[in-house]
Structure 1
Amino acid sequence: MEADVRLDRPVASRRGWRAAMLALARNPVGSIYGTILADSVLAVEARYQLLLRDLIYAELVTVVVYWLAHVYAEFLGAPPTVNRRAGLRRLADTMAHEWSLVTASFVPLLAVLLAAAAGASVHTAALAGMWTGVAALVLWGEIAGRHSGRGAWTSLAYGLVSGMFGIALVLLRALLH
């Protein structure tokens, strides 16, 4: 039996910290993309944005546009539907499933806001967001591994590989600044 990696099942049966993470992101694969996108925006935009609101605006607009483009591409790539109602339902389902791409970007963004509230500069707050994104990537990778039926060690390896993408972005930021 093939494992369903879409996480369409309700999360009520899940327990502990994983339940909270899965409630935030029903689709850990989309969450990986969303977190990498958020960290990428922070890496680039922190160089140009002097105001926190501009950094946040750039982050949110970029993530939402990327989400819409991703949904559009998924929708175009699917087989045609028999009627308009079925097509709209498929579009709504795709939008809901891929929404984790957006919600995952809130994790680094929350760290940015908390760091700024604590008095950090925009650049330092962006770095705090990026490191939070690295930690989130480890969790998303581990959750994706577990959900696909992998064992604890393999899932942890998936998480560490996911985290390496975030570290690569932190290094990219260091090279840009």
Structure 2
Amino acid sequence: MDVSERLDPRVASRRGWRAGMLALARNPAGSIYGTVLADSVLAVESERQTELRDLIYAELVSVLVYWLAHVYADFLGSPPSTSRRAGLHRLAETMGHEWSLVTASFFPLLAVLLAAAAGASVQTAALAGMWTGMAALVMWGEIAGRQSGRGTWASLAYGLVSGAFGLALILLRVLLH
């Protein structure tokens, strides 16, 4: 990168946005799990819930329980700690690392809230959340590819495969409902 690129605010803002997304997705695998979980809950609960608050409650509780179970399983599978303090430190690190599972679920949830605020029904808002989740899955897969050192095309392929999980959930919802 030459000096003019470093001084160009458009280049810096693109780098800043990308750096922000990478910070949010420190654990893209957790982000993929969280987004798939969020879309799954939206697919199932949107047909059962008639109130937006009930759909949001089901989404948040499901994601938090899954996150706790994931942290617990990871913690149980790790070698024993030398001390209680070391064990608590490892548990806190695991909770922080896996938190991306929760934060990733906010993208579909935000779309649900925005769609509902625009007047969409609970079912339509949930579908908007699922489409947003699919787009987020493409992004998380692409980020995972980049973080693992893959090139542009391989990273894009990772993103498309990740997005296919979201598309499969949307198709499943449409076929079953």
Q: Output the CA distance in 2 between the equivalents of 1:43 and 1:16.
A: 34
SS in 1 for 2:105: helix
Counterpart of 1:123 in structure 2 is: 123
**Over residues 96-120 of structure 1, what are the superposed CA-to-partner deviations in whole Å (9 max), with x where a residue is unaligned?**
0000000000000000000000000
Counterpart of 1:73 in structure 2: which amino acid? A
Note if contact 1:35-1:104 (Cα within 8 Å) is conserved in structure 2: yes
**Over residues 11-42 of structure 1, what are the superposed CA-to-partner deviations in whole Å (9 max), with x where a residue is unaligned?**
xxx92432232233321110000000000000
For normalisation by structure 1, the TM-score amounts to 0.90
Q: Output the CA distance in 1 between the equivalents of 2:57 and 2:41.
A: 11
**Over residues 132-177 of structure 1, what are the superposed CA-to-partner deviations in whole Å (9 max), with x where a residue is unaligned?**
0000000000000000000000000000000000000001111221
Q: Output the CA distance in 1 between the equivalents of 2:22 and 2:119.
A: 31
Q: Which has the higher helix share?
A: 2
Count of residue pairs brought into register by the alignment? 164
Q: Does 1:83 align with 2:94?
A: no
Structure 1 gaps of 5+ residues are 1-13
Moved over 3 A (4+): none
Q: Does 1:23 align with 2:62?
A: no
Question: Larger Cα Rg: Structure 1 or Structure 2?
Answer: 2
Q: Output the CA distance in 2 between the equivalents of 1:54 and 1:139.
A: 28
Give the alignment of 1:13-162 within 5 angstroms.
Answer: 15-162=15-162
Q: Output the CA distance in 1 between the equivalents of 2:19 and 2:170.
A: 28
Q: Output the CA distance in 2 between the equivalents of 1:120 and 1:77.
A: 44
For normalisation by structure 2, the TM-score amounts to 0.90
Q: Output the CA distance in 1 between the equivalents of 2:156 and 2:17.
A: 15
Counterpart of 2:53 in structure 1: which amino acid? R
Q: Output the CA distance in 2 between the equivalents of 1:22 and 1:106.
A: 16
Structure 2 gaps of 5+ residues are 1-13
Counterpart of 1:172 in structure 2 is: 172
Indicate the larger mover: 41-50 or 20-29: 20-29
Q: Output the CA distance in 1 between the equivalents of 2:167 and 2:37.
A: 13
